[in-house]
């Protein structure tokens, strides 16, 4: 893996500000599945107040610049046959562009794990026969995380939320981050799910470093104000959360009806804990996991 996560406390670095972004974004005509031209796509995300964006077209690097949003170069790599998709990202487009011609997923992940890149297994629960069964995710190595929320799958066959597979992997001891995205294809896909990254500056390097270290949370509408750990006490605070669920060892450990919580995470004896914050309607936010045995 190319990530540099402090798995005991991915939110250890409390410097910087929260920045909103999306990595999984397609544009027309570079991605045949997309229906929105590149300039219109950029206009839409700017209008929603996004701070960073990646245009991750299928098997091609779309080179983009923008005067307001930070751009992270990206590609959505497809395995032959089209079922397995991997988001590959780096501050250097030149680093990832040659990998569009790689045909083996194992080779792709192994090569990029040695470079300054980020690799995310996309939409694990798309289609009736999911793109990734949980045992397949467990068997793979060299990837940094999986999409735990993919907005476009809400209107396709499958499940948009993949936290069950995430918990399976975490319980098995695999250290993988959770990511969320729009998987933008059409205008109606805008702002379905995003990441809030705590970055020290508004630069590609700072945002990418925060992503690689796990210093971000995922949201479909709930705003978190702080996530921090002091000793064995973890505090999660939100603006608009109504219920917080503490998850560990593939199970619900505790439910708190409040907008914030502080808990001693050793009390359950779970190998890891993570937090889900529920707001109005179906709005949610997810933290990264905190492991105990580090």
Encode pLDDT of 196-252 as tens digits.
999 999 999 999 999 999 999 999 999 999 999 999 999 999 999 999 999 999 999
> Residue 3: which pLDDT band, with cuts at 50, 70 and 90?
low
- My answer on whether 114 and 211 are in the same domain is yes
Q: H/E element holding 147? A: strand 145-150
214 and 225 in one domain? no
Q: Are residues 202 and 235 in the same domain?
A: no
pLDDT beyond 50 at 46:
yes
Cα–Cα distances (Å) from 92 to 74, 197, 260, in that order, read 9, 19, 38
The reply to whether 12 falls in a domain is no
Residues 34 and 171 in one domain: yes
Is residue 44 domain-shared with residue 24, that is, in the same domain?
yes
- Residue 156 maps to a domain: yes
What's the pLDDT tens digit per position in 73-83? 999 999 988 77
Domain stop point among 218, 242, 271:
218
Specify whether 233 is located in the same domain as 194: no
Domain span holding position 252: 221-294
Domain boundary among 174, 200, 218: 218
Opening angle at CA 223, ends 7 and 194, nearest 5: 70
Residues 116 and 259 in one domain: no
**Coil, helix or strand for 154?**
helix
Q: What is the pLDDT of residue 259?
A: 98
Looking at every residue in the chain, the average pLDDT score rounds to 96
Is 148 found in the same domain as 250?
no
Count how many domains the chain has.
2
Answer whether 217's CB lies under 8 Å from 197's CB.
Answer: no
Which of the listed residues 198, 218, 238 is the one where a domain comes to its end?
Answer: 218
Give me the torsion for CA of 131, 136, 139, 140, rounded to 10°: 0
């Amino acid at each position: 893996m190319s990530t540099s996560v402090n798995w005991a406390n991915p939110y250890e670095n409390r410097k910087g500000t929260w920045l909103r972004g999306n990595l999984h974004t397609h544009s027309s005509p570079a991605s045949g599945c997309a229906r929105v031209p590149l300039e219109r796509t950029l206009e839409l995300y700017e209008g929603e107040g996004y701070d960073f964006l990646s245009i991750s077209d299928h098997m091609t690097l779309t080179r983009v610049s923008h005067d307001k949003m930070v751009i992270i170069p990206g590609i959505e790599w497809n395995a032959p046959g089209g079922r397995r998709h991997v988001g590959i990202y780096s501050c250097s487009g030149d680093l990832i562009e040659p990998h569009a011609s790689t045909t083996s997923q194992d080779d792709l992940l192994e090569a990029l794990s040695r470079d300054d890149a980020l690799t995310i297994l996309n939409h694990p629960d798309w289609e009736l026969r999911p793109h990734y069964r949980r045992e397949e995710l467990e068997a793979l190595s060299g990837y940094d995380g999986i999409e735990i929320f993919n907005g476009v799958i809400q209107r396709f066959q499958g499940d948009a939320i993949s936290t069950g597979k995430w918990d399976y992997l975490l319980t098995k001891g695999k250290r993988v981050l959770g990511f969320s995205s729009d998987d933008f294809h059409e205008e109606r896909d805008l702002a379905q799910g995003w990441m809030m990254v705590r970055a020290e500056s508004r630069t590609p390097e700072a945002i990418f470093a925060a992503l690689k270290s796990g210093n971000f949370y995922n949201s479909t509408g709930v705003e978190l104000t702080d996530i921090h750990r002091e000793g064995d006490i973890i505090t999660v605070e939100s603006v608009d959360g109504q219920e917080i669920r503490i998850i560990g060892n593939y199970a619900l450990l505790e439910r708190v009806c409040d907008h914030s919580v502080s808990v001693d995470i050793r009390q359950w004896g779970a190998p890891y804990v993570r937090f889900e914050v529920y707001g109005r309607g179906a709005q949610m936010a997810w933290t990264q996991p905190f492991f105990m045995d580090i």
